[in-house]
């Protein structure tokens, strides 16, 4: 190969091998995800997005009767938040984990209370009418539908994403809810101030 050509390609090759620069702006900045809502919390009280004003929030949609995925995701998200609590308690105090059911038929406030308290003491569980849940899920770009019936009831098919939202309710980033918890904690601290 021509030595002059090789020399001219060297800077490009070095650039290609360099680690990628971390983005300076949140990856979901400007996305049309989220919006106002009023649902019912795990204590049976009306709960709106206004109760979260000024707080970062982790928004996860799932259902308590999920046999495997939702509990693992929520456990990982809670463990990631607990790592932030240890490393940066002031920041962690400004983050609210929120679990929104996509199965309001079975996920009553009492069921949500038992579920959320098993993962994090500050986790908010939200339910509502099927229409209210459908509206919120649509605003957060969550797909869900009731699956086939089984001997133990039915399963819910749904998309899986955990959003980190800003204190004014705007999307910042997707959290890697599949874990491990340190990766979740890193992503939270990267985008939350």
Strands 46-48 and 56-62: unpaired
- How many C-beta neighbours within 10 Å does residue 129 have? 11
Sign of CA dihedral 177, 42, 89, 55: positive
Residue among 94, 107, 98 at smallest CA distance from 140: 98
**Closest C-alpha among 149, 127, 128 to residue 64:** 127
- Annotation-wise, does 66 bind a ligand? yes
150 in Cβ contact with 133 (< 8 Å):
no
Closest to 160 in 3D by CA, of 71, 65, 79:
71
Q: Does 17 belong to an annotated binding site?
A: no
Measuring CA to CA, which residue among 58, 48, 60 is closest to residue 91?
A: 58
Nearest by Cα to 147 from 102, 192, 188, 183: 102
- Binding positions: 66, 70, 158
- Binding positions for Cu cation: 66, 70, 158
């Amino acid at each position: 190969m021509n030595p002059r050509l090789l020399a001219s390609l060297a800077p490009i090759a070095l650039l290609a091998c360099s680690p990628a620069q971390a983005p300076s702006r949140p990856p979901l900045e400007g996305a049309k995800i989220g919006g106002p809502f009023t649902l019912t919390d795990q204590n049976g009280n009306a709960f709106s997005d206004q109760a979260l004003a000024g707080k970062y929030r982790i928004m996860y949609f799932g259902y308590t009767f999920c046999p495997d995925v939702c509990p693992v995701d929520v456990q990982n998200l809670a463990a990631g938040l607990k790592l932030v609590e240890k490393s940066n308690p002031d920041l962690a105090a400004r983050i609210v984990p929120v679990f929104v059911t996509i199965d309001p038929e079975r996920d009553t406030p009492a069921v949500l209370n038992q579920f959320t308290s098993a993962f994090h003491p500050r986790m908010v569980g939200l339910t509502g009418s099927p229409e209210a849940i459908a509206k919120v899920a649509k605003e957060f770009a969550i797909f869900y539908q009731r699956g086939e019936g089984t001997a133990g009831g039915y399963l819910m098919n749904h998309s899986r994403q955990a959003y980190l939202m800003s204190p004014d309710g705007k999307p910042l980033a997707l959290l890697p809810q599949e874990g491990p918890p340190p990766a979740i904690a890193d992503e939270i601290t990267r985008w939350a101030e």
